[in-house]
């Protein structure tokens, strides 16, 4: 037996305990195991996810999707652009009846280097509910 080869050469071993269950991976903040809705009944953003790099175009179609919030009859999608570090300006505020939307986003001044962020909120009984956390895109 070649002991220098390490434990892998010692033959089959019993499987270890494996990874421990933990919270499901997903967008930052508010996600719940199983991913139905964020805390407080806000929808859970799915795509595009935090840190997604966008094409450097002054105008582009972007697809957004999220998990349904209980009791929601519609959703409100909000998209903002960073105009200066820490300063955001609203670009899109679009009502949507489903859990996905494709939106043509036109950046301010055609500057493609600025970051975008998006969030979604449920509408119940005609009233806007809590918003999801912001998802920042690069």
* 65-77 residue pLDDT tens: 999 999 999 999 9
Q: What is the pTM of this model?
A: 0.71
More confident: 129 or 37: 129
pLDDT of residue 108: 83
pLDDT of residue 41: 87
Q: In terms of Cα–Cα distance, which of 121, 124, 129 is closest to 73?
A: 124
How many CB atoms neighbour CB 107 within 10 A? 18
pLDDT digits (tens, 9 = 90+) for 33-46: 334 445 578 999 99
Q: In terms of Cα–Cα distance, which of 43, 100, 101, 35 is closest to 71?
A: 43
Average pLDDT, the chain: 78
């Amino acid at each position: 037996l070649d002991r220098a080869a390490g434990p892998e050469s010692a033959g089959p071993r019993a499987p270890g305990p494996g990874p421990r269950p933990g919270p499901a991976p997903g967008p930052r903040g508010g996600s719940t195991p199983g991913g139905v809705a964020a805390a407080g009944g806000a929808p859970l953003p799915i795509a595009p996810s935090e840190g997604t790099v966008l094409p450097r175009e002054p105008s582009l179609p972007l697809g957004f999707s999220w998990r349904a919030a209980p009791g929601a009859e519609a959703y409100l999608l909000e998209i903002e652009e960073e105009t200066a570090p820490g300063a955001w300006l609203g670009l899109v505020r679009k009502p949507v009846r489903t859990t996905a939307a494709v939106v043509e986003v036109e950046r301010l001044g055609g500057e493609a280097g600025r970051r975008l962020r998006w969030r979604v909120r449920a509408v119940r009984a005609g009233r806007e509910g809590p918003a999801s956390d912001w998802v920042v895109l690069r």
